[in-house]
Structure 1
């Protein structure tokens, strides 16, 4: 019953997106891009070109060339004007990735994590210049394949299905981490956060499953929510690509999406709270029965 209530609340959230807004000023998509002047566009193109060179150098294991391009990238991103593109959260994620890559260059070798950081930066800055042709958007199909493998692993009628699902989720996790800075540059940050939180919840369920404390319904609902969260990052409610957010970072969030994400988070928290309560209640009942003479 509680699971059905959760699904109903989540569907109601989606209906807010599907229903037209009775205001001519309201946009159908998450955000409508504003015109970008030529100077900013040139900055964005340069960022994309340098980050691409950085990624190629990191992939080739060329530490010196990677460091050179990272220095160029840092100088260009220090210009406050270029940060009018994207979002504050996107720039924060990019800065953290730059810091991680810088530490790797200073204290170690170009390992897999360093190459992944190079890929994150390449995708993030490509997003600023390429609009809906951005490379990160192509990961939608890849992540859908990840989800299909995850669902098939969970539906296996074998004793090791939880372990197989954990392995499949790890692959999806890598792709989520890869696109986060780019997605934050172009999409509503709360949609990206919802994806990250839903992934973490799914992971916690699987970890509990490895200890033998997981009901099938919990996991089925979580996988459905995770699939929905992935789609929301890439598409709008009508199945079309969301227009990129290329407005100044201090712009406000459309109210309709605030309500949608708020209801989604509330429904997830209600469901998690109920399941935790039921688990503790059943555990106490079992203990009481065990203590009976």
Structure 2
């Protein structure tokens, strides 16, 4: 069976599952995580769907572990288990048509990676991680694993900003390639959960910056505007507040000895003041034999 036929079958299976989902009754409930994933749950599924989704996520988690460890036999077994767990699984209410397409692409990518005669540890690691994030995003509406990439991509954006301010096209390009790699990793998971318009905006920005970073003539003003726009789009993609900065300039660490002396000085002063008060308190002696000493006892 060639790749085209496999893709048709997989897309058909996912599409039928999505359409049949509209015929299934819905109730209140949640899907418990089947692994060490975040404990957030997907609401609005009946018990049967919750169990199927949990099995689907568990298969993806075990497939991820086997492929990360290079366990060829185990990876092939888990791939078949994951495909079988799609049967009867309803995607109604879980994601959009675009999300189903992204999930199908991730599954096909892993299947084709496993089918290659030559094992590539890097491809095994990346494709299985991408699928794991996608399935986790499907099963968890809030606090899915892919959201943890915000800090990673924000760091990439900060390095792009640094390359721009230093007038270094090479540093800017290097940081962008890292951002591009991280975005490719979380994109299927983001498509499953986010509105298509947000994904399209970020895709368009990535394409623009890629062309900008490839230009032989360095356009520093355009690079600066691109980074500012990317900061806003990144926050939108990860559902962060508009007023929340992606990165902040770090100051005050240029002279670590200065801070050490300053903090140490305050500690020494505090201890000295406490010791002085204790010393003065010990010098306050009230005699019971001589009344004339009573007035002197208050000198200190």
Q: Same fold (TM over 0.5)?
A: yes
Q: Which residue of 2 aligns with 1:54?
A: 63
Mapped to 1, the partners of 2:57 and 2:191 lie a distance apart of 16
The change in CA–CA distance for 1:88 and 1:141 in structure 2 (over 3 A counts) is: same
Question: Unaligned stretches of 5+ in structure 2?
Answer: 1-41, 245-300
Q: Which residue of 2 aligns with 1:104?
A: 113
2:157 pairs with 1:150? no
Mapped to 2, the partners of 1:72 and 1:154 lie a distance apart of 48
Q: Which residue of 1 aligns with 2:214?
A: 207
Q: Which residue of 2 aligns with 1:166?
A: 173
- TM-score in terms of structure 2 length: 0.62
Task: Tell me if the contact between 1:58 and 1:110 (Cα under 8 Å) persists in the aligned partners.
Answer: no
Mapped to 1, the partners of 2:182 and 2:140 lie a distance apart of 20
2:230 pairs with 1:220? no
Task: Tell me if the contact between 2:201 and 2:233 (Cα under 8 Å) persists in the aligned partners.
Answer: yes
Q: Which residue of 2 aligns with 1:195?
A: 202
Alignment of 1:15-164 (within 5 A): 35-79=44-88, 81-82=90-91, 84-107=93-116, 108-157=118-167, 161-164=168-171
Kindly indicate which of the two structures has a greater share of residues assigned to helix: 1
Deviations 1:130-165 (A, max 9, x none): 2212111111111111111121122214xxx11111
Deviations 1:52-101 (A, max 9, x none): 11111111011221111111111222435245522211221121122222
Task: Tell me if the contact between 2:235 and 2:242 (Cα under 8 Å) persists in the aligned partners.
Answer: no
Task: Tell me if the contact between 1:44 and 1:125 (Cα under 8 Å) persists in the aligned partners.
Answer: no
- TM-score in terms of structure 1 length: 0.64
Secondary structure (helix, strand or coil) at the match of 2:140 reads: helix
Question: What RMSD, in angstroms, separates the aligned Cα atoms of the two structures?
Answer: 2.0
Q: Tell which structure's C-alpha radius of gyration is larger.
A: 2
Task: Tell me if the contact between 1:83 and 1:91 (Cα under 8 Å) persists in the aligned partners.
Answer: no
Deviations 1:25-51 (A, max 9, x none): xxxxxxxx8623232222222222111
Task: Tell me if the contact between 1:47 and 1:73 (Cα under 8 Å) persists in the aligned partners.
Answer: yes
Task: Tell me if the contact between 1:126 and 1:135 (Cα under 8 Å) persists in the aligned partners.
Answer: yes
Task: Tell me if the contact between 2:53 and 2:139 (Cα under 8 Å) persists in the aligned partners.
Answer: yes
Secondary structure (helix, strand or coil) at the match of 2:85 reads: helix
Counting matched residue pairs gives 202
Moved more, 106-115 or 223-232: 106-115
The change in CA–CA distance for 1:239 and 1:65 in structure 2 (over 3 A counts) is: farther
The change in CA–CA distance for 1:220 and 1:133 in structure 2 (over 3 A counts) is: same
The change in CA–CA distance for 1:97 and 1:34 in structure 2 (over 3 A counts) is: closer
Higher relative contact order (CA 8 A, sep 6+): 1
